[in-house]
Amino acid sequence: MPRSYRGTAKDKFMPANLDVTHAVSLRSWVASSNGHPDFPIQNLPIGIVSFQSEGPRCGIAIGGSILDVRALLKNGLLDGDAAAFAEAASGSRLNGALALGSGPRIALRRRVSALLQEGAAERAAVESCIHEAESCAVLLPAAVGGYTDFYTGIHHATTVGKLFRPNNPLMPNYKWVPIAYHGRASSIRPSGTPVKRPKGQIKPPDSSSPVFESCRQLDYELELGIWIGEGNELGEPISAADAADHIGGYCLLNDWSARDIQAWEYQPLGPFLAKSFATTISPWIITPEALVPFRASQAPRPPDDPEPLPYLTDPVDIAHGAFDIELEVLIATPKMARAGQGYHRLSLSNARHMYWTPAQMVTHHTSNGCGLNPADLLGTGTISGPGKEEAGSLLETTQGGRAPIVLPSGETRMFLEDYDEVLMLARCHREGFASIGFGVCKSIILPSD
């Protein structure tokens, strides 16, 4: 077995830290997990689950089933650091468990991996702690105290910038500063929660005064969410070398956007009500450990781009700080459903299109001394690729509402209509490793009142 994860932060994501929990040969006695597109035994994401009895509590997804972590603890199947995580996670929020940092989380992963493997001696005892996922609801995993949305998708920033400034799409700060704004934590909801079309001030192009009406340009934004694990004290920045150790996990994030409201309100202070009506996330926390095989080096910057300032630069982050995660957006409309057409793909992108790494976002966020708390959530910004089929928002796909997309039902869309359902998926593939996924991030649009 390779050396422990408990080295320095610099060692944390080196390939040498792959361990037995990543072995492609691992199989579980939970039959539905073997070959499962999201939750094989190599993933083991953590969430808060409403099982059929008692209150919501920590669960771990395994194939089409969910493991009740509190039941494992009660049955005496956990000890040491793994038990410490389970105790901290025994309530209805994972804030306390996220605050523990990586050691207990890794201990739980290793123990649960062993318990779920084919041939595990404890199988009979663990079986009594497993529930069918269909009979459970997966809730918001933590109370989010603060939510910050970045803008690291450089193709998104360039395409959107071109709509407004054809000759100068990127602002001069873009390649120096990981740009972000403070979002609204109170409207973050787990996958499956419907989104009501917002109303707001909209200025028609042919009028000098705005109206207060239902949004007509409702859009999605394909992003990753970054869960903060251990926080930092006010006044104590997190260095680029330590930043990855302050990340507790990842999710999918749909940053719903009302483009017509946004266009009128956003200057000079940035997005406000165009974003704060809803943010949908996939509810499972995909751990940094599960993503180790899918780490990637930072994409090389074009020769004319500036080197990041030293406080944003760490050699391990340059070598391993990015991710290779396939990201997909799909749509279903009522008409498509009636015709049995299922989902239609709108976009296929990849997390490699981020200009800044998650560690650089954490470092920049705290570089002025700002404190991050456990279970704060960061959005990466819309992750679009360079091609039209890789755009992470309809604003880009339809070129600002000028070029409609045509759906298999014959319907067209510039922006989202009532009862459209948007589904986001994230999948990680690498030769020699088991593929894993994030589970679903989906929501249906309901009309305004």
CB 350 within 8 A of CB 326: yes
Q: How far is the CB of 291 from Mn ion (least distance, A)?
A: 21
Q: Residue number with the shortest CB distance to Mn ion?
A: 255
Shortest gap between Cβ of 271 and Mn ion (angstroms)?
Answer: 8
Beta strand pairing call for 130-132 and 137-139: unpaired
* Cβ within 8 Å of residue 341, ≥6 positions away: 332, 408, 409
Closer to Mn ion by Cβ: residue 378 or 440: 378
Peptide bond before 408: cis, by omega within 30 degrees of 0?
Answer: no
Given 68, 242, 255, 396, the residue binding Mn ion (CB under 5 A):
255
Binding mask 173-212 for Mn ion (x = CB under 5 A): ----------------------------------------
| Residue nearer to Mn ion on the CB measure, 221 or 396 | 221
* Residue 156 annotated to the active site: yes
What is the separation, in whole angstroms, between the first and last Cα of the chain? 59
153/327 Cα distance (integer angstroms): 13
396 binds Mn ion (CB under 5 A): no
Q: Which is nearer to Mn ion, 61 or 394 (CB)?
A: 394
For the CB of residue 257, give the shortest distance to Mn ion in the complex, in Å. 7
The three-point CA angle 264-269-272 to 5° equals 60
Q: Report in angstroms how near the CB of residue 195 gets to Mn ion at its nearest.
A: 15
Minimum distance from residue 275 beta carbon to Mn ion (Å):
7
At its nearest, how many Å lie between Mn ion and the CB of residue 392? Answer: 9
* 26 Cβ contact partners less than 8 Å away, ≥ 6 residues apart: 20, 40, 41, 42, 113, 117, 434
Nearer to Mn ion, 68 or 221 (CB): 221
For Mn ion, which stretch binds (CB under 5 A), given 38-46, 94-102, 155-163, 214-222? Answer: 214-222
- With contacts defined by CB under 5 A, name the span among 32-40, 72-80, 252-260, 430-438 that binds Mn ion: 252-260
Q: How far is the CB of 238 from Mn ion (least distance, A)?
A: 23
Query: Which residues ranging from 12 to 71 are in contact with Mn ion (CB under 5 A)?
Result: none
Per DSSP, the three-state class of 345 is: strand
Count of beta carbons in the 10 Å neighbourhood of residue 334: 15
Question: Interface with Mn ion by CB under 5 A: which range of 74-82, 98-106, 249-257, 389-397?
Answer: 249-257
CA distance 274 to 60: 34
Residues 105-124 that bind Mn ion (CB under 5 A): none
Which string of x and - marks every residue 139-168 that binds Mn ion (by CB under 5 A)? ----------x-------------------
| Binding range to Mn ion, per CB under 5 A, among 117-125, 217-225, 331-339, 428-436 | 217-225
Count the residues of the shown chain that bind Mn ion, applying the rule CB under 5 A.
3
Longest dimension (CA), the chain: 73
In angstroms, the Cα distances linking 30 to 24, 41, 51, 315 are 16, 9, 18, 40
Q: What minimum distance in Å lies between the beta carbon of 283 and Mn ion?
A: 19
Residue number with CB closer to Mn ion (221 or 230):
221
Nearer to Mn ion, 77 or 325 (CB): 325
Which of these ranges, 161-169, 202-210, 221-229, 354-362, lies near Mn ion under the rule CB under 5 A?
Answer: 221-229
Q: Which is nearer to Mn ion, 111 or 442 (CB)?
A: 442
Q: How far is the C-alpha of 350 from the C-alpha of 142, rounded, in Å?
A: 26
Alpha helices in 345-429 (DSSP H): 358-366, 394-397
CB 153 within 8 A of CB 381: yes
- The catalytically annotated residue of 22, 36, 155, 156 is 156
- Near Mn ion by CB under 5 A: residue from 19, 81, 221, 390: 221
- The answer to whether the CB of 229 falls within 8 A of the CB of 96 is no
In the bound state with Mn ion, the residue whose beta carbon lies nearer, of 253 and 445, is 253
Window of 22-30, 196-204, 251-259, 367-375 that interacts with Mn ion by CB under 5 A: 251-259
Give the number of other CB atoms < 10 A from CB of residue 174.
18
68 has which bridge partners? 59
Phi, psi of 400 (to 5 degrees): 75, 25
Contact 54, 71 (CB under 8 A): no
DSSP string, 279-330: EEE-SSBB-TTTTGGGEEPPPPPPTTSPPPPGGG--HHHHHH-EE--EEEEE
Catalytic residues: 156
- Contacting residues toward Mn ion, per CB under 5 A: 149, 221, 255
